[in-house]
Structure 1
Amino acid sequence: MIPDATLAALFAAAVAARENAHAPYSRFHVGAAVLSESGAIHAGCNVEVASFPEGWCAETTAIGKLVSAGEKSIRAVVVVAEGDRLTTPCGGCRQRLAEFAAPDTPVHVGGPDGIRRVFTVGELLPASFELEEQP
């Protein structure tokens, strides 16, 4: 469980990132933020390109920022999108989250108005693909 103030900061980072989404084709803006083991927040937005589907998701951007900052572990996730329907991570992003987060890591899903539902990485991807550690 992460403190309320940390969750609020994570949510605010996802909302702010969503504002920077590059979605000229779908017009569907998504923001995501991940909380690392060190307590740092890494946020990202979706980026579309003309050669659909070669763009990438907000979760992918946030994970890329986490890794490029030298971190490898996610403690919590927030995904924020427009509209009334829940926007959970896509299949590829679920696998990416499973790469850097434990099955019990919370994934908070919501809209600009707030968090609407909380899943765990394990609930979103119950049979994730895992490679054996190499010596």
Structure 2
Amino acid sequence: MEEITPRLQRLMSKAYAPYSHYPVAAIVKGESGRLFEGVNVENASYALARCAEQGAVSRMVAEGDRKILEVWVMTQDGGTPCGGCRQILAEFAKPETLVHCLSADGQEFTHTLGELLPHAFRLEP
């Protein structure tokens, strides 16, 4: 399998971030073992912008997977997923799912989803 970091770097260069100038790339690993990619897509109407994690999860669901096994996100500075994306990830991943946050210069910070979103909203107890 292709190494994740160069794949994220290529993806990040495809992000559409003319307003924030903060490109983001994400890859989620589905239960099938396949990797699903996403990039952030901004919009002049800010509320219509979409995060990279949302795109990757949407693609995973469209392809038939319903569980996330692992997540990688790349930003310029190694930022973590926003609160909304943490909740979207929690819909399909367990609290112990690893979320790797990589910076463009190669630093990696790994967290569990439960650390990033300790009180996720869930319909089931």
Q: Same fold (TM over 0.5)?
A: yes
In structure 2, relative to structure 1, the CA distance for the partners of 1:38 and 1:10 (3 Å cut) is farther
What's the CA shift for 1:115? 4.3
**Aligned mates of 1:75, 1:10 — CA distance in 2:** 15
Task: Give the match's secondary structure for 1:62.
Answer: helix
Inter-partner Cα distance in structure 1 for 2:19 and 2:81? 19
Say which of 34, 42, 52 aligns to 2:46.
52
Equivalent position of 1:38 in the other structure: 32
Cα separation, partners in 2 of 1:37 and 1:9, compared to 1, 3 Å: farther
Which amino acid counterpart does residue 124 of structure 1 have in structure 2? L
* Structure 1 spans left out of the alignment, 5+ residues: 1-5
After TM superposition, give the deviation of residue 43 of structure 1 in Å: 0.7
Match of 1:124 in 2: 116
**Count of aligned pairs:** 125
The structural deviation recorded for 1:112 is: 2.2
- Label 1:115 to 1:77 Cα distance change in 2 as closer, same or farther (>3 A): farther
- Residue in 2 that maps onto 1:63: 57
Q: Tell me the equivalent position of 1:101.
A: 93
Same amino acid, percent of matched pairs: 43
- Where structure 2 has 5 or more consecutive residues not aligned to the other structure, the ranges are none
Deviations 1:105-128 (A, max 9, x none): 000001123242100010000010
Give the structure-1-normalised TM-score: 0.86
RMSD, aligned α-carbons: 1.6
Q: Distance in 1 between matches of 2:69 and 2:56?
A: 13
**C-alpha contact (below 8 Å) 2:76/2:105 kept by paired residues:** no
For residues 63-85 of structure 1, give each alpha carbon's deviation from its aligned partner in whole angstroms, at most 9, with x where no partner exists: 011001011111110000113xx
Aligned equivalents of 1:98, 1:80: Cα separation in 2: 19
Q: What is the CA deviation profile of residues 76-106 of structure 1, one whole-angstrom value per residue up to 9, with x for unaligned ones?
A: 10000113xx310000000000001111000
Which secondary structure state, in structure 2, belongs to the residue aligned with residue 114 of structure 1? coil
